[in-house]
Amino acid sequence: KQEVTQIPAALSVPEGENLVLNCSFTDSAIYNLQWFRQDPGKGLTSLLLIQSSQREQTSGRLNASLDKSSGRSTLYIAASQPGDSATYLCAVRPGNAGNNRKLIWGLGTSLAVNP
């Protein structure tokens, strides 16, 4: 059974720091992995999607890497800003899900970037 773990559960940093959020999964047979951002009352926003054949994806100050064999992904945020404060969720799509694109989720990392 696929399980997704995110470390740390919470993180507080001063503005401007570079930071790394970690995600691990128990079954390396994944189709893809996504990082989401969750803001209170605003639902979830997809940040980056990495296919199983890819090693990393970048969007602006965000870079996500994937090491499928070791069951790990990291989300790197450069030059953090107070507006980055949110909960960051990692989710994997199992490789055996067929046409169902259901996701298995971690509990998230709650990030606070202090001015």
Partner 1 sequence: GAGVSQSPSNKVTEKGKDVELRCDPISGHTALYWYRQSLGQGLEFLIYFQGNSAPDKSGLPSDRFSAERTGGSVSTLTIQRTQQEDSAVYLCASSRPGVDVAFFGQGTRLTVV
Q: 3-class DSSP state for residue 64?
A: strand
CA-based nearest residue to 89, from 25, 48, 38: 38
β-pairing, 72-77 with 19-25? Answer: antiparallel
How far, in Å, CA of 109 to CA of 24, rounded?
13
For residues 20 and 7, the answer to whether their CB atoms sit within 8 Å is: no
Of positions 25, 75, 108, 109, contacts partner 1 by CB under 8 A: 108
> Considering only residues 21, 91, 111, 113, which one is a binding residue for partner 1 as defined by CB under 8 A?
91
Residues from 34 through 53 that contact partner 1 (CB under 8 A):
34, 41-46, 49
Q: Is 107 in the site for partner 1 (CB under 8 A)?
A: yes
- The residue range among 19-27, 61-69, 72-80, 87-95 that interacts with partner 1, by the rule CB under 8 A, is 87-95
Where does this chain bind partner 1 (CB under 8 A)?
Answer: 4, 31-32, 34, 41-46, 49, 89, 91, 93, 99-108
